Each structure stands twice: as C-alpha cells, then as structure tokens.
Amino acid sequence: MGLKAWLVRKLVDWLNTGDDPHDVPPCDFDRLSFEIRPCDVLLVEGRNRISNLIKTITLSSWTHSVLYIGRLHDIDDPELQGIIQRHYHGDPADQLVIEPLLGQGTVISPLSKYTEDHLRICRPKGLSRQDIHAVIKEAATYLGRQYDIRHLFDLARFVFPYGLVPRRWRSSLFEHNAGDQTKTVCSTMIAEVFAAVHYPVLPVIHRTEEGGLKLYKRNTRLYTPRDFDYSPYFEIIKYPILGLDDIAVYRQLPWDKEGVICNAQGECYAADGTPVEQKVVINNKADLQQ
C-alpha cells in the first residue's frame, strides 16, 4: 500500500468513527420497517464524524439518504434479482437498501442496520409500479461505485464561499460530467435514479412567455439529503417512538413534573441549575407508555 492510499484509509477510518447510539431512538423502527415501501427514500441522522461534517456543510440534521428496494422476493425481474444476489449474501427475507458509503462504495445493506438511528421516510407521490421497478433497476447499476469524497469537499466549498470569485468558478459541482464517473454520493445517486424516470425532486421551474410552466432538471451534484425532505413531490412520513395515536392525546404524554430542563440526553438540570443524573434508561416503547 502506497503512502497516499495509506493516508486516505486513515482519513476514512477517522471519519467513520461514530458515537454511541441513542438510549431511546426518536423513531419507532418496528413500525417504520412495517410501513416502508419500495422506492421510499430513507433519511438518516448519522452519528459518525463524517455525519457531523455533513451537518455543518448542509445545515441539516439529515446526513445520509438511502433507497429502499424491498425484499428479494418483492422484485419480479429475474435479472435484477440476480444482480442483488451477487451483491448481497444475507437472508433473502431481509429488507434491503442501496446506499453509497464512505470506505465501502455503493452497496446493498439490510434496513435493520438503522434500528437505533433517527429516521424519516420520504415517499415519492404517485410513482407508478412500472417506474418503481425502473428506479430500482437504475439504482442497481450504481452497485460497486466508489464513494466520491471529492464531491463532499466541493460541496463544502460551494456552501461556504470565500472572496469575490464566483462560486461556479471554484467548484467542480457546476462542471458538466465533472469528476470520476465511477464514483458517487448518496443524495446524487438517488436524485439521478429518479431523474431517469423524469420524476421531480427539486426541479428548476420557469414560466414561459405563453404563461405556461417549464421544468428543467436540477444539477444532481447539488443535491443533499435534506432536499428530499424539502421537496414538495415527496410525502414526509414520521413514526415517533411515542406517537400521539398510541396514547390518545398529547396532554397524556409522560412529561417530567419536577421542572427539570435538558440541553440533550444525559445533560439535564434542576430549576436551580443543579445537574440532574438520569438514572433510568428506557429501553423500549412499552416502558414509555407505562
């Protein structure tokens, strides 16, 4: 291994170092995994160093996006089934996602890897069954592509401009077919597979001289995970660990009555400013409702 490759590997390992999972994930994963459908985009609030970097760059808590493709038996196309089987050797009954990952490239992963994470479903409205298959098939062509870390730093340069030089002169994000076409990042890949069936995410819309509207495809290299949350063409579906439907009305939520205020989990204070130790850890949804 050369010096450059060694340094890149060390950087990747450092960026992938993560924090511990939430004691109580904000999301009800069991319900989410039951309700999710093929071609749903799943947003993830990551917990590693690269996630913290992406939060800073995009000003959003959503740091990763994955495309849900369902179980192997949900796919009718034998050719597509064969591609998936070559890239995933787990249980055929597993719920699967396609995702580009730093240090691994574009891979198929089990949905269950995100059991302890904060998640949100973004569902493309009205996507036909034929186009669902087309989007998944297009996503499968990205399997094996490397993660484009240069894209991440270009995006940082774009978001944090400096000096008087126009942004488009300083970033390859604006260049046509810029960079290595064998590499990608999560949000760009997902935007491109939806663009393949002409499904809008955040198109550029112009009004014509005749008063009509004309849509232009947006540069997919400019997409970030939060854009699927912001898009008016995707339904936002949340499954909180403690849903209001579960306990009838919000007034019955088990709020603390001692006046304790928390900055974050594990960082709580009494009304007089004295730190309060949280001794009780809630491990499941049933505990929350007792």
191: domain CATH number is 3.90.1720.10
77 vs 187: CA distance, rounded Å: 25
Domain end, chosen from 203, 222, 241, is at 241
Residues 258 and 226 both lie in one domain: no
172 vs 152: CA distance, rounded Å: 11
Residues 16 and 114 both lie in one domain: yes
pLDDT digits (tens, 9 = 90+) for 51-109: 777 787 778 889 999 999 999 998 989 999 999 999 999 999 999 999 999 888 999 99
Q: What share of the chain is helix, strand, coil (3-state, %, to 5)?
A: 35, 20, 45
Looking at residue 209, its pLDDT comes to 83
Residues 94 and 234 both lie in one domain: yes
Looking at residue 100, its pLDDT comes to 93
Looking at residue 8, its pLDDT comes to 63
User: For the chain, which ranges sit under pLDDT 50?
Assistant: 163-165, 176, 178-179, 279-290
Q: Which domain holds residue 275?
A: 250-288
Residues 70 and 122 both lie in one domain: yes
Residues 185 and 254 both lie in one domain: no
How many structural domains comprise the chain? 2
Looking at residue 282, its pLDDT comes to 43
Residues 134 and 265 both lie in one domain: no
Residues 38 and 115 both lie in one domain: yes
Residues 68 and 139 both lie in one domain: yes
Residues 209 and 274 both lie in one domain: no
Backbone angles phi, psi at 251, to 5 degrees: -65, -15
Residues 66 and 183 both lie in one domain: yes
Residues 138 and 69 both lie in one domain: yes
Residues 190 and 56 both lie in one domain: yes
Going by C-beta distance under 8 Å and a sequence separation of 6 or more, which residues neighbour residue 145?
100, 105, 106, 182, 183, 184, 189
